[in-house]
Amino acid sequence: MVGLGFALFRVVTEQTDSISAFDGFSLAAPLWLIETRQGGALAEVTYLQAEAWGSQFLLAFTSEEKAARAIETLGVAERARPSLVTGDAQMEVVTVVCQVGAHGIIVDLDPSTRQCAWSRRLLAAA
């Protein structure tokens, strides 16, 4: 979890938990996550998250360019990079969500406007 930038995401303006005909396509399309390392090159890899609706959400992007813009906007370029999700995108994203302790994903978040394409809670809140 990256502490820098969390204050920027205190409120993401719209949650889109409704089911859409595009949900399966969205997870089947290529996705990029923002891989981060805190504490240098030998530090453990983790993934950038945002706080929204009282929970942590993994940030995912539909293009490498969108992920790179978010990294630049957040000022974390020295320790973050876009990472393409390989294999079964849905399974990989759910696996990362579980690993980092997030409750879902936010797709294509624009840090400057706090708007996103869509979001999905993937795990029930404890």
Q: Is residue 12 part of a domain?
A: no
Per-residue pLDDT of the chain (126 residues; tens, 9 = 90+): 443 333 334 344 445 555 443 455 446 678 999 999 877 667 788 999 999 888 899 999 999 999 999 999 999 999 999 999 987 777 888 888 888 889 889 999 999 999 999 888 875 444
Q: Is residue 59 part of a domain?
A: yes
Q: Is residue 19 part of a domain?
A: no
Look up tokens 């849905």; give the residue.
90
Q: Is residue 15 part of a domain?
A: no
Q: Is residue 20 part of a domain?
A: no
- pLDDT for 27 equals 61
Q: Is residue 32 part of a domain?
A: yes
- pLDDT for 123 equals 59
What is the residue type of 48? L
- pLDDT for 29 equals 74
Range of the domain at 116: 25-121
Q: Is residue 11 part of a domain?
A: no
Number of domains within the chain: 1
- The domain that holds 36 is classified in CATH as 3.40.1350
- pLDDT for 74 equals 94
Of 126, 122, 96, 106, nearest to 51 by C-alpha is 106
What is the residue type of 34? I
